[in-house]
Amino acid sequence: MNVEISRLELSELSEAKKLVKKVFMTFEAPDYSKEGVAHFLTYLDEELEMELSVNQVQVWCGKDARQIVGLLAVRLPAHVALLFVDEAYHRQGIAKQLFQEMLSELMPEQVTVNSSPYAVPIYERLGFQIEGNEKTVSGIRFQSMVYK
């Protein structure tokens, strides 16, 4: 499926955060402790907007009929902070479209991510490789990965 990929406008942040929260609670929260879920939601509710306002994070969104159905947030220079796609749009290439758009705009030498256990296969399909062992910090389980 082809969706329209664009930079997220600040006026779209509330809609984008709702999508991220819905997908997170469905697919990732079951793998996390209560502390981990709370930590993630605090980042989403409090820190993301601050990072956007000072240009620490660049955000791309995928839209279908002007509805946000996918989101990629990259903490500069090239660390994936968020990659979420609405469940109804899974396995339709939206994450890949978002990732390719980011690569073409930022042209990083490498991209890193701390992937949730659920998303490791998704990042592997995008070309990321596992680095080290899974870790847990502040209740967040993650696997470090790199794309070169």
pLDDT digits (tens, 9 = 90+) for 10-58: 899 999 999 999 999 999 999 899 999 999 999 999 899 889 888 889 9
What is the maximum alpha-carbon separation in the chain?
A: 41
What is the pTM assigned to this prediction? 0.93
Q: Which amino acid is at 68?
A: I
pLDDT tens for 61-81 read: 999 998 999 999 999 999 999
pLDDT band per the 50, 70, 90 thresholds, residue 96: very high
Please report the DSSP string for 87-133 in residue order: GGGTTSSHHHHHHHHHHHHH--S-EEEEE-TTTHHHHHHHT-EE-S-
Structure tokens at 73: 């947030």
Domains of the chain listed by start with CATH number: 3-147 (3.40.630.30)
Q: Give the ranges where 8-93 is alpha helix by DSSP (H).
A: 13-23, 34-42, 48-53
Residues pairing with 73 in the sheet: 59, 82
Q: How far is CA 69 from the centre of its chain?
A: 12
* 8 Å CB contact between 3 and 94: yes
